[in-house]
Amino acid sequence: MMDLMNYDVFSKREWRDFYQDASVPLTQASLRQIKAFNDRISLQDVQDIYIPLVHYLRLLIKHFDEWQDSKAGFLRQQPRHVPYIIGIAGSVAVGKSTTARLLKVLLNHFFSDQRIEMLTTDGFLYSTAELKKRGLITRKGFPESYDMKALITFLNDVKSGKQLMEVPVYSHKIYDIVPNEVQEIEQPDVLIIEGINTLQLPSSEQIYVSDFTDFSIYVDARPKLIEEWYLERFKALLKLAENDPDNYYHSYTKMPLKDAVEEAKSIWFNVDLPNLEDYILPTRSRANMIIHKGEQHIIDQVMLRKS
């Protein structure tokens, strides 16, 4: 593919052999706690893909910290601590959240003296009430449904070394911003930010979110596979919502399963797939790394941008 010609491509075996560490700090039980809802991940992928990735990041972060000191010296400025930001992008249901959580756990293990924080850009979605007010309720997840000014201001504050920041919290249970609830981000050494829009140029701003990220990862898979994972997750969410009237998905449990799944397919084909094809997938070639998944979420390929 022309848009990926600027990448070095590694098979799982090739990537695994760059760095081997038998002391994986995880068990199957801890993996179950890390993975996002209905995602899958194996200890083998942790060993073969994520452990080498963390040690690759170690080299990048070391170089980044040294460069900040060198730059401050050249500019005759007082050295200051600048957080390293990792962005994770990709389609809905592709496993971005699991990748982000796993990286956080592994970075906490291998960088035990550093503060690792993680958040999702979902917190910067406009509330349902605001989306309705703006006539954007059917465009939820598309670039214009995010308060990009607030997200970019937040990232600028992170890079400026602001001591304490508060970001809104999004709940997939109520499918909305949680009123009067915030996540506190306190001077991280490394910030992992995950979301479908971390590589996009917002329509309302002239600054990319990726202008603030120091390393970006795009989690990739064939759209047909992502559709399967999306529908699997939808069915699992129905079971979870069955006896919970406050759950957004509870209303779907009142109709026959076949009809509910048809509704989900309609949402996929009319909302999520167009969003993927028009706005998410075109940003793939901006990523520093592409992690490609095959059947059952198993990673089969890693690509690193050459420049």
What are the phi and psi torsion angles at 141 (to 5°)? 100, -20
**What pLDDT was estimated at residue 279?**
92
202 has a pLDDT exceeding 90: no
**What pLDDT was estimated at residue 20?**
78
Alpha-carbon span 137 to 277, nearest angstrom: 20
Q: Which two tokens stand for residue 36?
A: 């996002």
AA letter at 246: D
Domain membership flag for residue 150? no
Average pLDDT over residues 129-150: 93
Alpha-carbon span 63 to 57, nearest angstrom: 10
**Higher-pLDDT residue of 232, 2:** 232
Average pLDDT over residues 216-227: 97
pTM over 0.95: no
DSSP-based three-state secondary structure for 118: strand
Alpha-carbon span 135 to 129, nearest angstrom: 10
Which residues contact residue 100 at a Cβ distance below 8 angstroms, ignoring those fewer than 6 apart? Answer: 88, 118, 120, 192, 194
Tokens 């052999």 belong to 17
**What torsion do the CA atoms of 160, 166, 168, 173 make, to the nearest 10 degrees?**
120
10 has a pLDDT exceeding 60: yes
Each residue's pLDDT tens digit, 76-129: 998 888 999 999 999 999 999 989 988 998 898 888 899 999 999 999 999 999
Alpha-carbon span 76 to 218, nearest angstrom: 37
Do 183 and 167 contact (CB within 8 A), yes or no? yes
Domain membership flag for residue 189? no
Q: Alpha helices, DSSP H only, in 111-216?
A: 128-134, 148-159
**What pLDDT was estimated at residue 7?**
96
Closest Cα partner for 215 from 297, 107, 92? 107
Average pLDDT over residues 238-246: 91
Domain that holds residue 291: 2-120+194-305
**What pLDDT was estimated at residue 39?**
61
AA letter at 298: I
Domain membership flag for residue 176? no
For residue 125, list its beta bridge partners.
Answer: 146
Each residue's pLDDT tens digit, 26-44: 666 666 666 655 567 778 8
Tokens 């959240």 belong to 97
Domain membership flag for residue 128? no
DSSP-based three-state secondary structure for 193: strand
266 has a pLDDT exceeding 70: yes
Binding-site positions for ATP = 90-97
Domain membership flag for residue 186? no
DSSP-based three-state secondary structure for 25: coil
Q: What is the CATH number of the domain that holds 113?
A: 3.40.50.300
Helix then strand then coil, in percent of the chain rounded to 5, is 50, 20, 30
**What pLDDT was estimated at residue 65?**
93
Do 216 and 142 contact (CB within 8 A), yes or no? no
Binding-site positions = 90-97
Alpha-carbon span 208 to 169, nearest angstrom: 22
Domain membership flag for residue 127? no
Count: domains in the chain: 1
Domain membership flag for residue 134? no
Domain membership flag for residue 131? no
Given pLDDT bands bounded at 50, 70 and 90, which one contains residue 12? very high
Do 192 and 118 contact (CB within 8 A), yes or no? yes
Each residue's pLDDT tens digit, 269-284: 999 999 999 999 999 9
**What pLDDT was estimated at residue 47?**
86
Closest Cα partner for 168 from 159, 177, 176? 177
Helices (H) and strands (E) counted in the chain, each on its own, are: 10, 9
Q: Across the chain, what does the average pLDDT equal?
A: 90
**% of the chain with per-residue pLDDT over 70:** 91
**What pLDDT was estimated at residue 2?**
57
